[in-house]
Homo-oligomer: A and B are copies of this chain.
């Protein structure tokens, strides 16, 4: 596979699409997702892990709120990963991740994930390159474990926004009282490292691709939400699940 170059991939919705039509499609998809998730929960055979990655302000919280959070919370859990705690730092980098993977019947959503350990840590050079390479191998082994040993279907999304869209959204956080709580002076600093992040992401897409990534054009929220809903729906549909019927003793 040729290496993905993010600068070659559009961050916007295709021009020919009608926003209102797509939004209606997304509503239908969400209704289908609710039904499929119920089936997944009832059958308790597969599990689903949704990994959300993307730059600051790429809209991860929006996807959680408007798509993934629309399903029954009994069978859906959202787990954000922030900077590791002291206890977490005393273990291998996958230790805090592994305890939050979905059991059979569950959908877990990682808002940021184990990938931060080969992204933010790499960009800031907090760990050396040799360690980064080893971590990528370890991530591949780990995702294989989940896939092969627990029928976990992993969906990895990169929410792809342009630097301009990001700047605009970060600016909004300073102006809009409803968004100010999200403002973090550090985000402006991180935004300056755009090129380094882009390179680190491109390496991840190349080296941690046994389970493929979906690059989601994310400048338009309506299109981003549609793509995530559609990808998840197609995956769940592909499992050909059935209700288990009455339990036989």
Contacts and interface: CB of A to CB of B under 8 A. Distances in A.
A138 B134 contact: no
A176 interface: no
A59 interface: no
Nearest to A90: B103
Contact of A101 (B91, B93, B103, B146): B91
Interface string A75-105: 0000000000001001111110011010111
A102 to B, nearest CB: 8
A148 interface: yes
Nearest to A146: B92
B101 A95 contact: yes
A93 B150 CA distance: 8
Contacts of A142: 141, 145
B92 A150 contact: yes
A222 to B, nearest CB: 36
A120 B90 CA distance: 32
Contacts of A152: 92
A133 to B, nearest CB: 11
| This chain's copy number in the assembly | 2
Nearest to A139: B145
Contact of A134 (B134, B135, B149): B149
Nearest to A103: B90
A44 interface: yes
A152 B101 CA distance: 23
A148 B142 CA distance: 14
A148 B130 CA distance: 11
A92 B47 CA distance: 11
Contact of A138 (B44, B87, B104, B145): B145
Interface in A116-161: 134-135, 138, 141-142, 144-146, 148-150, 152
Given A47-B90, A91-B104, A92-B149, 8 more contacts: A90-B103, A92-B145, A92-B146, A93-B149, A134-B149, A138-B141, A138-B144, A138-B145
A-B CB proximity, top 8 nearest: A90-B103, A141-B141, A92-B149, A92-B150, A90-B104, A98-B98, A138-B145, A91-B103
5 contacts: A92-B146, A95-B150, A99-B99, A138-B141, A142-B145
